[in-house]
Structure formats: structure tokens, C-alpha cells
């Protein structure tokens, strides 16, 4: 019999809809209530509530506390896997933080729900059941943190929320899921090529995220620099280009020793130093901007926060973002 630890942090999976007002809010009903009978004695489940927070309330310090709690629990008892329930709005950020932070080969699976427990077509209980089955699967080991939603298994690095309300919201654009679940089986069809983790002790760095747009000037970049941030992530245009009016502000930020990571606002492809015109990727790389390999803006921000706890050396930071 497999032993699985389920850690609850809140989110829609633990909420109910008020049938009179239509408002969805926190509930005392535990999402695990019906799981034990559905598993038919196949799995021993230990569960605890670490937070009871809507995911927009989750901060990086909550993510670190969650990661530490997992390490502490696993040091005291031999679990076969970990499942975390989480709100969907920031689920991909918490999952990716855990993927960077955790030092374990055991399966760690994050899941949630798009519909509260008493709504028609509620998906939370089924997603939780699927996540427990994946966490119990020997083949799920050494794959980093996984996200299981809507019969699909995604890596924390690639998954993103693509719809505000559709139950099939979690997708991995360009890469696809690495596996699927059925009512009785778990199937993996991709393998991880590389996985690195960073044993940080704190996460106190302030990193801003801004999105480029047509006609953008340097005022936002100047404002971020003057707010004394530790790092900046920019979702650039196309393959990694910015309007030429931003260049002088970028230079001032670099002169202030603020590392700047560049990603694309496109949801597919990676940034490259292709274009040599003012504000083009070639000029930006020559200036010292760090090109992230395929990360979204929110995930590049999480990685830069983690990386800055390890080093402020630009060469080392660039190496961390090269894969």
C-alpha cells in the first residue's frame, strides 16, 4: 500500500458556491472527505491543512514555507509521494517554485479545481483523485514537480493557465502534457531531459515584471529602477525585441546593477538575439540582458528571485537561465 501526504493550501477546490448570490468563497468542507472510499484501501493518505488561502493571496514566502514543510515531513516519515491542493490563479508559480526548491526524487503533484465543490460539474474531487494516483505511481519519480488537472500530467516548468474559467485551462503550449490519467491507469509518454534544484534558505529578493507594448518608452523601466528592486523581468516583443525608446532606461538599470531577464510575451517560442536594429535582441544581449530559455514572465520572475538568493554574478545568472 502506498503512503501519500496531501497538503492543502486553499483555493477553489476547498470552496463552495453560495446558491443565492453566486459568490464562491472559503468553506469548512474538506476536499478529501470522499476520497478514502473511492481509493478502496489502495492508498494510505495522511493530510493536513497548511494554509486556507485563495491563490491570489499566496506570496513567495508562503511558497517557501510550503517547500520547507514538505522537506520536514519527508524527513520524518517515508512517503511514496506528495500531493498539494492549490488555487489555480497562481498554481503554476507555486509549482515552479517547488520544482526549483525541492530536493527529492519522490513524486510531488499539484492540483486544484476550476469549479467549487457544490457547483454543477465540480472537478476538484476527480482532480485530487487523479493527483493521488499519479503521486502513487513509481514512474512519476524523478520528474520534478508535476501538475495534474483534467486527466493530463504537465511539468511545473511548462504548464500555464490558459483560460479564466474552462476546466481544461492548464496547458503546456509548445510542449504538451508528459502523460495522461484514466480512471484506473497512469501513462507517461515523455521524459524529462534535465532538472535542477536550488537549496535556498530565504526568498526576500524583490523582482518586478513588466510587459512590453507598441510605443513603449522607458518611463516604466525608470520607475522600477527607482523603486530599488533587486531584479527585473520584461516580457518583450516577438523573439526578444523592445522599442528603441526603452534602450537608455535599460542602460541606466544595468548601470545600477539590476539584472534584467528577457522573455517573450508570445506563448510559444523562445527569445533570441536575431535582430540588430536599435532595441533588437542582438543589441539587448550585447548590453547585458539575460535571455531566458522558454519561460513565461511569471516563471522567469520566480526563477530570478530564487537565483538571486544564490548569486548576483551576471555570468552565473545567465547560465541558470540557459536551460
CA 319/CA 233 separation, integer angstroms: 16
Identify whether the C-beta of residue 9 lies closer than 8 Å to the C-beta of residue 31. no
Side-chain-side CA neighbours of residue 129 (13 Å): 20
CA distances from 95 to 27, 66, 84, 189, 202 (A): 23, 11, 9, 21, 17
Active site annotation includes 90: no
Around Cβ 10, how many Cβ atoms within 10 Å?
A: 22
CA 278/CA 247 separation, integer angstroms: 8
CA 55/CA 251 separation, integer angstroms: 35
Annotated catalytic residue within 12, 90, 155, 246: 12
* C-alpha cell at position 313: 554574478
* C-alpha cell at position 145: 514537480
Sign of the C-alpha dihedral computed for residues 298, 300, 302 and 304 taken in this order: negative
Side-chain-side CA neighbours of residue 174 (13 Å): 13
What is the C-alpha end-to-end distance of the chain, expressed in Å? Answer: 37
CA distances from 202 to 33, 205, 307 (A): 35, 9, 11
Around Cβ 209, how many Cβ atoms within 10 Å?
A: 19
Instruction: List, by residue number, the catalytic residues.
Output: 12
Amino acid at each position: 500500500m502506498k503512503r501519500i501526504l496531501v497538503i492543502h493550501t486553499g483555493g477553489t477546490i476547498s470552496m463552495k458556491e453560495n446558491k443565492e448570490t453566486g459568490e464562491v468563497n472559503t468553506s469548512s468542507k474538506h476536499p478529501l472527505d470522499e476520497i478514502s472510499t473511492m481509493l478502496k484501501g489502495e492508498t494510505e493518505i495522511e493530510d493536513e491543512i497548511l494554509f486556507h488561502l485563495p491563490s491570489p493571496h499566496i506570496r513567495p514566502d508562503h511558497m517557501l514555507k510550503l517547500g520547507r514543510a514538505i522537506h520536514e515531513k519527508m524527513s520524518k516519515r517515508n512517503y511514496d509521494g506528495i500531493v498539494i491542493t492549490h488555487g489555480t490563479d497562481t498554481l503554476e508559480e507555486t509549482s515552479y517554485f517547488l520544482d526549483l526548491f525541492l530536493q527529492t526524487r519522490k513524486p510531488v503533484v499539484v492540483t486544484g479545481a476550476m469549479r467549487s465543490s457544490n457547483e454543477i460539474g465540480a472537478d476538484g474531487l476527480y482532480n485530487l483523485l487523479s493527483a493521488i494516483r499519479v503521486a502513487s505511481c513509481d514512474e512519476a519519480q524523478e520528474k520534478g514537480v508535476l501538475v495534474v488537472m483534467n486527466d493530463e500530467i504537465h511539468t511545473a516548468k511548462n504548464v500555464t493557465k490558459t483560460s479564466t474559467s474552462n476546466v481544461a485551462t492548464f496547458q503546456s503550449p509548445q510542449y504538451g502534457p508528459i502523460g495522461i490519467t484514466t480512471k484506473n491507469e497512469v501513462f507517461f509518454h515523455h521524459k524529462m531531459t534535465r532538472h535542477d534544484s536550488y537549496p535556498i534558505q530565504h526568498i526576500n529578493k524583490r523582482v518586478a515584471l513588466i510587459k512590453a507594448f507598441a510605443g513603449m518608452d522607458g518611463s516604466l523601466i525608470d520607475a522600477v529602477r527607482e523603486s530599488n528592486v533587486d531584479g527585473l523581468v520584461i516580457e518583450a516583443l516577438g523573439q526578444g525585441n523592445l522599442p528603441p525608446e526603452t534602450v537608455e532606461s535599460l542602460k541606466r538599470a544595468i548601470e545600477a546593477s539590476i539584472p534584467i531577464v528577457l522573455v517573450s510575451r508570445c506563448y510559444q517560442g523562445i527569445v533570441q538575439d536575431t535582430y540588430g536594429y536599435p532595441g533588437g535582441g542582438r543589441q539587448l544581449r550585447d548590453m547585458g540582458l539575460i535571455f531566458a530559455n522558454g519561460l513565461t514572465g511569471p516563471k522567469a520572475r520566480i526563477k530570478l528571485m530564487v537565483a538571486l538568493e544564490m548569486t548576483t554574478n551576471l555570468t552565473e545568472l545567465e547560465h541558470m537561465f540557459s536551460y
